Amino acid sequence: MSAIKVKLTQFTGLANVYSRNPYGLAAIVRGLAIDNARLKVEVAAVHDFTDNSTGVAGAAIVGLPIPVAAIDATAAGGAQLTALNASLVKLQNAGKVITNTINEASALLGLSANVSASGVQAAADTIPALDKARTAANGVTAVSYASAVAAFTTAAANLNSLIYGANAVLAAVGAPALKTAGPFGVPESLTLAAIPAAVAVAVGPGALAKADADAFLAAYANNVATLAAAWDVAFNQGAPGQGALHVVAA
Protein backbone atom coordinates (compact mmCIF):
# COMPACT_ATOMS: atom_id res chain seq x y z
CA MET A 1 0.00 0.00 0.00
CA SER A 2 1.29 3.46 -0.91
CA ALA A 3 1.87 6.04 1.80
CA ILE A 4 -0.86 8.57 2.56
CA LYS A 5 0.21 11.92 1.08
CA VAL A 6 -0.93 14.77 3.30
CA LYS A 7 -1.24 18.24 1.76
CA LEU A 8 -1.62 21.55 3.58
CA THR A 9 -5.20 21.68 2.26
CA GLN A 10 -6.05 18.16 3.51
CA PHE A 11 -8.51 19.45 6.12
CA THR A 12 -9.72 22.68 4.51
CA GLY A 13 -13.20 21.20 4.59
CA LEU A 14 -14.74 18.71 6.99
CA ALA A 15 -14.98 15.78 4.60
CA ASN A 16 -11.58 14.27 5.40
CA VAL A 17 -12.00 14.93 9.12
CA TYR A 18 -14.95 12.58 9.45
CA SER A 19 -14.19 10.22 6.58
CA ARG A 20 -13.11 6.64 7.09
CA ASN A 21 -11.36 6.49 3.73
CA PRO A 22 -7.56 6.06 3.50
CA TYR A 23 -7.11 9.85 3.36
CA GLY A 24 -9.26 10.64 6.38
CA LEU A 25 -8.04 11.99 9.69
CA ALA A 26 -8.32 8.66 11.51
CA ALA A 27 -6.22 6.85 8.87
CA ILE A 28 -3.59 9.59 8.93
CA VAL A 29 -3.31 9.67 12.71
CA ARG A 30 -3.12 5.87 12.84
CA GLY A 31 -0.46 5.83 10.16
CA LEU A 32 1.63 8.37 12.04
CA ALA A 33 1.27 6.31 15.22
CA ILE A 34 2.43 3.16 13.43
CA ASP A 35 5.43 4.95 11.91
CA ASN A 36 6.39 6.30 15.33
CA ALA A 37 5.97 2.91 17.01
CA ARG A 38 8.13 1.17 14.41
CA LEU A 39 10.95 3.63 14.91
CA LYS A 40 10.67 3.26 18.68
CA VAL A 41 11.03 -0.51 18.72
CA GLU A 42 13.62 -0.56 15.95
CA VAL A 43 16.02 1.60 17.90
CA ALA A 44 15.64 -0.69 20.91
CA ALA A 45 16.19 -3.80 18.77
CA VAL A 46 13.18 -5.77 19.95
CA HIS A 47 14.10 -9.32 19.04
CA ASP A 48 12.40 -12.04 17.12
CA PHE A 49 12.16 -15.60 18.45
CA THR A 50 14.43 -18.55 18.09
CA ASP A 51 11.63 -21.08 17.96
CA ASN A 52 12.68 -24.51 19.20
CA SER A 53 9.13 -25.47 20.17
CA THR A 54 9.01 -28.25 17.51
CA GLY A 55 5.51 -27.05 16.68
CA VAL A 56 4.31 -26.42 13.13
CA ALA A 57 3.18 -22.87 12.42
CA GLY A 58 -0.24 -22.53 10.84
CA ALA A 59 -2.39 -19.79 9.36
CA ALA A 60 -4.23 -19.29 12.65
CA ILE A 61 -4.16 -20.09 16.35
CA VAL A 62 -6.46 -23.08 16.85
CA GLY A 63 -8.64 -24.00 19.78
CA LEU A 64 -6.97 -26.31 22.27
CA PRO A 65 -8.75 -29.67 22.64
CA ILE A 66 -9.63 -29.89 26.33
CA PRO A 67 -10.52 -33.56 27.04
CA VAL A 68 -14.22 -34.18 27.59
CA ALA A 69 -14.26 -37.64 29.17
CA ALA A 70 -12.16 -39.90 31.35
CA ILE A 71 -11.19 -43.46 30.51
CA ASP A 72 -10.52 -46.64 32.45
CA ALA A 73 -6.74 -47.03 32.32
CA THR A 74 -6.59 -50.09 34.58
CA ALA A 75 -4.92 -52.11 31.84
CA ALA A 76 -3.64 -49.49 29.37
CA GLY A 77 -4.37 -46.27 27.50
CA GLY A 78 -3.63 -43.64 30.13
CA ALA A 79 -1.12 -40.79 30.06
CA GLN A 80 1.81 -41.21 32.44
CA LEU A 81 1.72 -38.80 35.38
CA THR A 82 5.42 -37.94 35.62
CA ALA A 83 5.76 -37.45 31.88
CA LEU A 84 2.75 -35.14 31.63
CA ASN A 85 3.92 -32.98 34.52
CA ALA A 86 7.30 -32.62 32.83
CA SER A 87 5.47 -31.43 29.72
CA LEU A 88 3.49 -28.88 31.73
CA VAL A 89 6.71 -27.41 33.10
CA LYS A 90 7.91 -26.94 29.52
CA LEU A 91 4.71 -25.04 28.69
CA GLN A 92 5.41 -22.73 31.61
CA ASN A 93 8.99 -22.17 30.47
CA ALA A 94 7.83 -21.33 26.95
CA GLY A 95 5.31 -18.89 28.41
CA LYS A 96 8.07 -17.17 30.38
CA VAL A 97 10.19 -16.68 27.26
CA ILE A 98 7.30 -15.40 25.15
CA THR A 99 6.21 -13.06 27.94
CA ASN A 100 9.67 -11.55 28.27
CA THR A 101 10.01 -10.98 24.53
CA ILE A 102 6.56 -9.40 24.21
CA ASN A 103 7.45 -7.10 27.09
CA GLU A 104 10.58 -5.90 25.29
CA ALA A 105 8.21 -4.15 22.91
CA SER A 106 5.21 -3.41 25.13
CA ALA A 107 7.36 -1.47 27.62
CA LEU A 108 8.61 0.83 24.86
CA LEU A 109 5.16 1.29 23.37
CA GLY A 110 3.38 2.10 26.63
CA LEU A 111 1.28 -1.05 26.48
CA SER A 112 0.24 -3.22 29.40
CA ALA A 113 2.84 -5.86 30.25
CA ASN A 114 2.29 -9.58 30.33
CA VAL A 115 3.39 -11.27 33.55
CA SER A 116 4.49 -14.88 33.93
CA ALA A 117 3.92 -16.25 37.41
CA SER A 118 6.04 -19.32 36.79
CA GLY A 119 8.54 -20.83 34.40
CA VAL A 120 12.24 -20.38 33.75
CA GLN A 121 13.92 -18.68 30.82
CA ALA A 122 17.10 -20.50 29.85
CA ALA A 123 17.99 -18.16 26.97
CA ALA A 124 16.42 -14.85 26.01
CA ASP A 125 13.98 -14.98 23.09
CA THR A 126 14.56 -18.74 22.68
CA ILE A 127 11.43 -20.87 22.98
CA PRO A 128 12.33 -24.29 24.40
CA ALA A 129 11.32 -27.62 22.92
CA LEU A 130 7.79 -28.71 23.81
CA ASP A 131 6.44 -32.24 23.97
CA LYS A 132 3.82 -33.30 21.43
CA ALA A 133 3.29 -36.85 22.69
CA ARG A 134 3.53 -38.52 26.10
CA THR A 135 4.34 -41.90 27.56
CA ALA A 136 1.50 -44.35 28.04
CA ALA A 137 0.68 -45.67 31.49
CA ASN A 138 -1.88 -47.75 33.33
CA GLY A 139 -3.18 -48.09 36.86
CA VAL A 140 -2.06 -45.55 39.44
CA THR A 141 0.88 -44.37 37.32
CA ALA A 142 -1.64 -42.67 35.02
CA VAL A 143 -2.89 -39.09 35.34
CA SER A 144 -6.31 -38.37 36.74
CA TYR A 145 -8.66 -36.86 34.19
CA ALA A 146 -9.89 -34.11 36.55
CA SER A 147 -6.41 -32.86 37.43
CA ALA A 148 -5.32 -32.89 33.79
CA VAL A 149 -8.34 -30.83 32.75
CA ALA A 150 -7.52 -28.29 35.47
CA ALA A 151 -3.94 -28.03 34.20
CA PHE A 152 -4.96 -27.80 30.55
CA THR A 153 -7.59 -25.14 31.28
CA THR A 154 -4.98 -22.97 32.98
CA ALA A 155 -2.51 -23.51 30.14
CA ALA A 156 -5.18 -22.50 27.61
CA ALA A 157 -5.96 -19.31 29.55
CA ASN A 158 -2.25 -18.50 29.61
CA LEU A 159 -2.04 -18.91 25.85
CA ASN A 160 -4.99 -16.55 25.46
CA SER A 161 -3.11 -13.92 27.49
CA LEU A 162 -0.02 -14.33 25.30
CA ILE A 163 -2.10 -13.95 22.13
CA TYR A 164 -3.69 -10.78 23.45
CA GLY A 165 -0.36 -9.28 24.49
CA ALA A 166 1.29 -10.14 21.18
CA ASN A 167 -1.63 -8.75 19.17
CA ALA A 168 -1.47 -5.43 21.03
CA VAL A 169 2.16 -5.05 19.96
CA LEU A 170 1.52 -6.23 16.40
CA ALA A 171 -1.31 -3.71 16.01
CA ALA A 172 0.90 -0.90 17.31
CA VAL A 173 3.53 -1.53 14.62
CA GLY A 174 0.96 -2.04 11.86
CA ALA A 175 1.49 -5.80 11.53
CA PRO A 176 -1.36 -8.28 10.92
CA ALA A 177 -2.94 -9.64 14.08
CA LEU A 178 -2.73 -13.29 14.97
CA LYS A 179 -5.79 -14.98 13.53
CA THR A 180 -7.63 -17.28 15.89
CA ALA A 181 -9.85 -20.22 15.05
CA GLY A 182 -10.85 -21.02 18.60
CA PRO A 183 -12.43 -19.57 21.75
CA PHE A 184 -9.86 -16.83 22.30
CA GLY A 185 -10.73 -13.28 23.29
CA VAL A 186 -10.05 -10.60 25.86
CA PRO A 187 -8.38 -12.37 28.82
CA GLU A 188 -9.33 -11.76 32.41
CA SER A 189 -5.69 -10.93 33.11
CA LEU A 190 -2.37 -10.61 31.31
CA THR A 191 -0.79 -12.62 34.11
CA LEU A 192 0.04 -16.20 33.21
CA ALA A 193 -0.96 -18.36 36.16
CA ALA A 194 1.14 -21.24 37.42
CA ILE A 195 -0.13 -24.42 35.78
CA PRO A 196 -1.24 -26.82 38.53
CA ALA A 197 0.54 -30.15 38.58
CA ALA A 198 -1.55 -33.15 37.65
CA VAL A 199 -2.01 -35.97 40.14
CA ALA A 200 -2.26 -39.72 39.82
CA VAL A 201 -5.55 -41.47 39.30
CA ALA A 202 -6.63 -43.37 42.42
CA VAL A 203 -7.44 -46.48 40.41
CA GLY A 204 -7.74 -47.24 36.71
CA PRO A 205 -11.10 -45.51 36.07
CA GLY A 206 -11.11 -41.71 35.91
CA ALA A 207 -7.83 -41.44 34.00
CA LEU A 208 -6.70 -39.14 31.22
CA ALA A 209 -6.31 -40.87 27.88
CA LYS A 210 -2.86 -40.71 26.32
CA ALA A 211 -4.51 -39.76 23.01
CA ASP A 212 -6.16 -36.76 24.66
CA ALA A 213 -2.89 -35.65 26.24
CA ASP A 214 -1.09 -35.94 22.93
CA ALA A 215 -3.76 -33.95 21.09
CA PHE A 216 -3.61 -31.09 23.59
CA LEU A 217 0.19 -30.91 23.70
CA ALA A 218 0.56 -31.04 19.91
CA ALA A 219 -2.01 -28.27 19.42
CA TYR A 220 -0.30 -26.13 22.05
CA ALA A 221 3.13 -26.54 20.41
CA ASN A 222 1.68 -25.67 17.01
CA ASN A 223 0.03 -22.55 18.42
CA VAL A 224 3.30 -21.43 19.99
CA ALA A 225 5.01 -21.88 16.63
CA THR A 226 2.23 -19.90 14.92
CA LEU A 227 2.62 -17.02 17.38
CA ALA A 228 6.40 -17.03 17.01
CA ALA A 229 6.23 -17.03 13.21
CA ALA A 230 3.88 -14.04 13.11
CA TRP A 231 6.07 -12.13 15.56
CA ASP A 232 9.22 -12.89 13.57
CA VAL A 233 7.68 -11.55 10.36
CA ALA A 234 6.83 -8.30 12.12
CA PHE A 235 10.14 -7.75 13.87
CA ASN A 236 12.80 -9.31 11.67
CA GLN A 237 15.53 -9.07 14.33
CA GLY A 238 14.58 -5.63 15.52
CA ALA A 239 14.06 -3.94 12.16
CA PRO A 240 10.29 -3.40 11.69
CA GLY A 241 11.12 0.15 10.55
CA GLN A 242 12.43 -1.25 7.27
CA GLY A 243 8.94 -1.06 5.82
CA ALA A 244 7.69 2.01 3.96
CA LEU A 245 6.25 4.93 5.89
CA HIS A 246 2.49 5.12 6.18
CA VAL A 247 2.24 8.92 6.03
CA VAL A 248 4.33 11.48 4.11
CA ALA A 249 4.01 15.16 3.30
CA ALA A 250 2.88 16.22 -0.18
pLDDT in tens, the chain (250 residues): 678 787 777 777 777 777 777 777 777 777 767 777 777 787 667 889 999 999 999 999 999 999 999 999 999 999 999 999 999 999 999 999 999 999 999 999 999 999 998 999 999 999 999 999 989 999 999 999 999 999 999 999 999 999 999 999 999 998 899 999 878 889 989 999 999 999 999 888 999 999 999 999 999 999 999 999 999 988 875 455 456 777 777 7
d(CA 171, CA 150): 32
Q: Residue 10 burial (CB < 10 Å; 0-12/13-18/19+)? A: middle
What lies within 8 Å, CB to CB, of 192 at 6+ separation is 92, 95, 96, 99, 114, 115, 116, 117, 118, 119, 158, 161, 162
CA distances from 63 to 14, 42, 66, 178, 248 (A): 45, 33, 9, 13, 41
d(CA 45, CA 40): 9
- Closest C-alpha among 44, 10, 62 to residue 216: 62
Q: Where are the domains of the chain?
A: 52-235
